[in-house]
Every structure is written in C-alpha cells, then in structure tokens.
Chains A and B, each alone.
Chain A
Amino acid sequence: GAGVSQSPSNKVTEKGKDVELRCDPISGHTALYWYRQRLGQGLEFLIYFQGNSAPDKSGLPSDRFSAERTGESVSTLTIQRTQQEDSAVYLCASSVGHGNTIYFGEGSWLTVV
C-alpha cells in the first residue's frame, strides 16, 4: 500500500479482555516497529522485526504483550487481559531496511474501561 496501515483506528475494550492490533507495513519494507504512546508522553519502544531474524522484544512491558509478524508483511500486537494502564496509542512504523528512514501509521487508539 501507499503507507503504513493500522487497524482498528479506535478500540474500546473492557478490562480483562484480549485485544489484537494489526499493522500492514509499506510493501517491500523489511523492518517493522511497534511503539506505545500514552497521552501527552513520548514514544515507548515495544518490539522490532527485521526480515526473518528473531525479533527484538526487549521493550515489551509484560508477558501480557506479544507480537507476531508473518514474513515481511502483516504484524499483529496482542495484549492479553487488558488493564487500564494499557490505554494508549499503539503506533506501528516500517522502513525499507535496518537503519533507514521510518514511516509511521496513524496508530490504534486503545481505551480500556
């Protein structure tokens, strides 16, 4: 596609439910990043995928968070047993390769009530 696409754009869920967030990177981009941004704050790194290499999961805040990527295409970020503190915008970005210009999607706004 023309840009990084994320879905859903908005999600309201009840505390304790699981949610899945999806990211479609720009076609041909081998690197994919997930970030979390709480209201009024900076970007918190979650996970990084590069091609078929093992992902860098060092930023995942707890074992309730996991992410997968199929080859060099779609990625899903899963949050299990959501908590109110998980409320944030989840941003996905991709780049043509490691160390290149990165492009962001518009984010998935998650609200846990």
Chain B
Amino acid sequence: GIQVEQSPPDLILQEGANSTLRCNFSDSVNNLQWFHQNPWGQLINLFYIPSGTKQNGRLSATTVATERYSLLYISSSQTTDSGVYFCAVMGNNDMRFGAGTRLTVKP
C-alpha cells in the first residue's frame, strides 16, 4: 500500500513564528487531505488538496502530485495551533494517514 511520511515528527515554536510541515507519499494518489487534531482529540479537516495551492487564513497548503509531496504552511502561529497535524492520502480505496507532526506553540 501507499506509504505516507511526515516531517518533522515534533516541532516547537514561539508564538508568532512561521513553520512548514511536509508530507511525502510513495505512489500516485487520488487525493490528499490535511487534518489538525486538537489536544482534546478532535480531528478537523484543514484542506482537501490533491494538487495545487490553497489558502485559508494563516494556513496554506501546496501539493505537487508529480513529485509526491505536500507542504502545509502555518504563518504567525498561535497557541491554539498546537496539536498534531496529519496528512492523509487516498490511493484506490481507503485514506491512509501519516504518523503526524506534533506542534507545540509556546506563548
């Protein structure tokens, strides 16, 4: 099956800093989604982004499908951005998740 690798595994930022999270995948995918899991465990869909670039407020994402990677950018980070960011890709059937990047934003 498709392998999904995320980096870095852990990231600690000072409030206001910018960051880039990366997702590499091993095969062609039909779609790619980014999720944020807050400290209470709730998973929120951030982007549906099989290719191209999207922006939503301080967050943006870019997927280069031909090179099999996606990037999530967080600008002017806030403490509420803390949590785990997951990348998920869909091959033929199911959505496969990476191991996540655990982000801690310190005030």
Q: Which residues of A contact B (CB under 8 A)?
A: 33, 35, 41-43, 45, 48, 50, 56, 58-59, 89, 91, 93, 98-104, 106-107
Size class of B's contact patch? 20 to 34
Ordered by A's residue number, 15 sampled pairs between the chains whose C-beta atoms are within 8 Å are A35-B97, A42-B99, A45-B94, A45-B97, A48-B93, A56-B93, A93-B95, A98-B93, A99-B30, A100-B48, A102-B45, A103-B45, A104-B35, A104-B45, A107-B41
Cα A102 to Cα B93 with chains together (Å): 13
Contact (Cβ within 8 A) A43 B97:
yes
CA distance A108 to B90 in the complex (A): 24
Q: Is B86's beta carbon under 8 Å from chain A?
A: yes
Chain A residue at smallest Cβ distance from B43: A104
Contact (A99, B42) CB under 8 Å given A33-B95, A45-B97: no
**Are A45 and B96 closer than 8 Å at their CB atoms?**
yes
Interchain nearest-CB distance for B52 vs A (Å): 15
Which residue on A lies nearest to B50, using beta carbons?
A99
